[in-house]
Amino acid sequence: INDDTYNIDFKWIHRNINEVINIKRLEPLGIKRPEKLIISQEEKDSIIYVYENQDFSGLENISIGILEEGKSMIIYFISKRNEENYILKYNLKESVISKFSYFDIPEGEKILSEEELTSIIENFRKYGIYMLEIDEEKNIYINPYEINAPPYYMKCKSDTTKQLLEKNDFIYEKYKDNWYINKNYNEFLGR
């Protein structure tokens, strides 16, 4: 990406938000994927070791992911309680939001301020991952591998249910302890 000439089409994203959120059609965004993501057991164990005891304070009931990344900017998608949705262009050189839009805000709900959104981004950036979601039950979903992709790992806070193991068209398979892996990750991305 040439950051000087790159412009995100926020109107396109609004019209096609289901594709952006569900990541079923990536071609309009110009996202190229490797043939298949294959993660060794050693690498999985390493990721689990790193994130096992992370606090993730300030990101409760938040889903955040990177849609696009350049040398001096990142496009983020942020969702609060799966109701309030934001798309932001974040300037890396100045650590500020240079453009943002929002949609699906329930009537009467306060829109997150630019300062609150910046705080969420800065908090998220500490973890060096591409996608993070923490749901109401404090289950954690992480993708440390690819931008604009679904969660690869799920860490359950409590006992799992069939509903939790089959969340958002993903099927999670137990890996170890309270960690699960998205069984249909590659298939979902068309690999």
Q: Are 3 and 59 in contact (CB under 8 A)?
A: no
pLDDT, residue 141, reads: 93
Parallel/antiparallel/unpaired status of strands 62-69 and 73-80: antiparallel
pLDDT, residue 55, reads: 87
Structure tokens at 176: 């170890």
Tens place of pLDDT for every residue, the chain, 191 residues?
334 434 445 455 444 444 444 433 344 444 455 567 888 899 999 999 999 999 898 899 999 999 988 889 999 999 887 677 888 999 999 988 888 787 777 677 777 888 999 999 999 999 999 999 998 888 899 999 998 888 999 998 876 665 567 666 788 888 998 999 999 888 877 77
**76: closest CA among 23, 142, 67?**
67
pLDDT, residue 159, reads: 66
pTM comes to 0.78
- Report the C-alpha dihedral over residues 142, 146, 152, 153, rounded to 10 degrees: -30
**151: closest CA among 184, 119, 111, 175?**
184
Alpha helix ranges (H) inside the chain: 10-15, 17-22, 41-51, 114-125, 162-165, 185-188
Q: Are 47 and 175 in contact (CB under 8 A)?
A: no
What whole-number distance in Å separates Cα of residue 137 and Cα of residue 150? 19
What whole-number distance in Å separates Cα of residue 144 and Cα of residue 132? 9
Q: Are 14 and 101 in contact (CB under 8 A)?
A: yes
